[in-house]
Each structure stands twice: as structure tokens, then as C-alpha cells.
């Protein structure tokens, strides 16, 4: 067919029927490209400890090292162990969920830059990289969770576990993963143009442990700050995630008069709403900037 005839045929096709190169339908495309998502997850999991002598043992070593340092410094030297019964379980249950957030958030931020060769040469939904980074973080979180369950089981946790405890664990993981994905999309998109985003994320992760009741009891915030600050603090998705883990693991194996935050159930719903809102904002920013990813990289 002559070139002019083909142009005449295309002239009658509405422009809306064509896809603009470099854009996608957001997280919906992640579901459509789930096979590629599974490949990215398998690659991320398999290459994490490649050429490593200890391999998956590092998934236990890192949180164990964190735990012993914090337990010795804060539990023994600063005597927080006397104020919080069964401080070891209290501390470790908080560290586990914070580690999930830290790895998912950090890896989500660097996911686009880390896969620059693919982004520059092949069109595919770029959200796949952030989502796969969060899922890989979840896979590496499972050994830590298993270790926490073993420790608590040795203290009699299995005899006092309830359906609400299981739901609390599930809710905490969902809230933290959605929150970290939203932040990962937001900072990951900005990081393509401005690499300062990685340094900002490092600072935020440094504060994450201190901005949630991992090393201290939540009432210490209530005793120092005004009521409105405490209210915002208790609605922080990280605070809610940590307290849900305390409810699920620390509270059943501890005989104490210390009370978990009031309205933890309602706070969990608010934290879920905040996490979903963060995901929505992160998705908007990501889609607005993704058209220039290839050029900026």
C-alpha cells in the first residue's frame, strides 16, 4: 500500500486510541504484568546473598546484632529493662517490623535508579520495580518473623495466642507495606532527577526507630509532649505497626500493668487510611514524573 494511502487510513483513527510512549496506567499495570513482577521478585531474592558464604543466615544475623546492641545499651546500661517487663521481647518485636519498613522504603526509593538499563531501553510499567522491592523486603522479613515466633513460643506464646493476635500481625504488615510502598514511589520518582532523595531517605530511616515505641514505652511521649502531639504520634503508621506487634507478641507473654495505647483498633484504621493516602499521593507523583525517567537516567 502506498505511503500516502496508509497516512490517510491513520488520519481517521482518533488520537485517544494511541498509547503515549513512556506512560502506564499505574499500579493496575502491575497486575497485568504479574509474570514479570514474579521474575523481578525471584531475581531480587536469589541475588540478595549471591556469592555469600552465610547466605540467608544474614537475615538472622543483622536483626540479632541490632537486638543485642539496643538491649545492652538501653536495657542494661540505661535500665529500661526495669521499667518495661520482658524488655527483650518488647524490643525485638518492634525491631522486626521496623526492619520491614526500612528495607522496603529504602529499596523502593532506589528501585528505578538501580534498574536504569531496563528503564532506558525497554518500556514496561516502572511501578513494577518499586512493588517488587517491597515484596522482596517482605520475603526477607519472614525469617525474622519466624525467629520472633520461636522466641515467643518458648515463653508460652502459643498457649495464649488468639485470633486477634493473628489479625494484629496481619494488619501491621499490611499497613507498613502500603506505607513504605507509597513513600518508595514518591521518593523513587524524585530520586531519578535529584539524587539528594536518597540522603533524605537515609535521614528519615535513622529517625524511624526513634519515632516509634521500639526502645521506649509510648507513655514517655505522653508525659513529655502536649496531648495533640501524642495523638499525632499514635496515628503514625509505624507507631501503630509496632504497637500491633507488641499486642500480638509481647503482651500475651508478659504479666504487666502497662497498658497499650487506647483505641488501638481505631488508630489502626486511621493508620491504614493514612497509608493508602500516602500510596495514592506517591502514585500521582510517580506517574507525573515517569515520562522523563529514561531521559533523566
**Where residue 75 falls among pLDDT bands split at 50, 70, 90?**
low
**Where residue 153 falls among pLDDT bands split at 50, 70, 90?**
confident
- 4 or 282, which is more confident: 282
- 290 or 181, which is more confident: 181
Transcribe 69-93 into DSSP letters.
HHIIIIIIIS-HHHHSTTHHHHHHH
pTM, full prediction: 0.83
Q: Is-contact 44 133, C-beta < 8 A?
A: yes
Predicted pLDDT of residue 254: 81
Share of the chain above pLDDT 70, in %: 77
Give ∠ CA 127-133-136 in degrees, rounded to 5.
Answer: 140
Predicted pLDDT of residue 76: 61
Predicted pLDDT of residue 179: 95
Q: Is-contact 214 63, C-beta < 8 A?
A: no
Predicted pLDDT of residue 93: 87
Sign, CA torsion 32/124/126/107: positive
d(C-alpha 96, C-alpha 20), whole Å: 42
- 277 or 255, which is more confident: 277
Q: Is the pLDDT assigned to residue 58 strictly greater than 80?
A: no
**Where residue 34 falls among pLDDT bands split at 50, 70, 90?**
confident
Q: Is the pLDDT assigned to residue 134 strictly greater than 80?
A: yes
Share of the chain above pLDDT 90, in %: 20
State the cell numbers at 280: 495514592
Residue 137's nearest CA partner among 109, 113, 168 is 109
Q: What is the pLDDT of residues 216-225, one digit of tens each?
A: 888 888 888 8
Q: Is-contact 15 9, C-beta < 8 A?
A: no
Q: Is the pLDDT assigned to residue 24 strictly greater than 70?
A: no
Q: Share the mean pLDDT of the chain.
A: 80
- 293 or 248, which is more confident: 248
3-state secondary structure of 144: helix
- 241 or 50, which is more confident: 241
**Where residue 242 falls among pLDDT bands split at 50, 70, 90?**
very high
Amino acid at each position: 500500500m502506498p505511503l500516502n494511502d496508509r497516512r490517510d487510513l491513520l488520519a481517521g483513527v482518533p488520537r485517544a486510541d494511541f498509547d503515549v510512549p513512556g506512560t502506564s496506567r499505574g499500579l493496575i499495570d502491575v497486575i497485568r504484568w504479574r509474570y514479570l513482577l514474579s521474575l523481578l521478585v525471584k531475581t531480587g531474592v536469589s541475588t540478595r546473598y549471591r556469592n555469600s558464604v552465610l547466605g540467608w543466615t544474614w537475615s538472622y544475623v543483622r536483626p540479632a546484632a541490632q537486638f543485642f546492641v539496643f538491649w545492652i545499651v538501653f536495657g542494661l546500661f540505661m535500665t529500661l529493662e526495669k521499667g518495661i517487663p520482658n524488655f527483650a521481647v518488647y524490643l525485638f518485636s518492634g525491631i522486626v517490623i521496623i526492619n520491614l519498613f526500612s528495607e522496603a522504603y529504602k529499596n523502593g526509593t532506589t528501585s528505578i535508579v538501580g534498574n536504569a538499563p531496563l528503564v532506558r531501553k525497554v518500556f514496561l510499567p516502572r511501578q513494577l520495580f518499586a512493588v517488587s522491592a517491597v515484596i522482596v523486603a517482605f520475603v526477607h522479613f519472614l525469617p525474622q518473623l519466624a525467629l520472633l515466633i520461636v522466641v515467643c513460643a518458648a515463653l508460652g506464646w502459643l498457649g495464649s495466642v488468639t485470633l486477634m493476635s493473628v489479625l494484629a500481625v496481619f494488619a501491621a504488615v499490611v499497613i507498613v507495606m502500603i506505607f513504605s510502598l507509597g513513600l518508595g514511589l514518591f521518593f523513587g520518582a524524585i530520586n531519578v532527577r535529584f539524587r539528594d532523595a536518597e540522603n533524605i531517605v537515609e535521614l528519615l530511616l535513622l529517625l524511624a526507630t526513634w519515632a516509634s515505641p521500639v526502645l521506649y514505652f509510648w507513655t514517655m511521649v505522653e508525659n513529655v509532649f502536649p496531648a495533640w502531639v501524642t495523638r499525632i504520634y499514635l496515628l503514625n503508621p509505624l507507631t501503630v505497626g509496632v504497637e500491633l506487634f507488641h499486642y500480638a507478641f509481647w503482651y500475651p507473654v508478659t504479666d504487666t500493668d502497662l497498658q497499650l495505647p487506647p483505641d488501638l483498633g481505631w488508630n489502626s484504621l486511621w493508620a491504614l487510611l493514612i497509608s493508602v493516602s500516602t500510596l495514592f499521593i506517591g502514585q500521582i507523583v510517580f506517574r507525573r514524573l515517569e515520562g522523563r525517567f529514561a531521559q533523566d537516567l
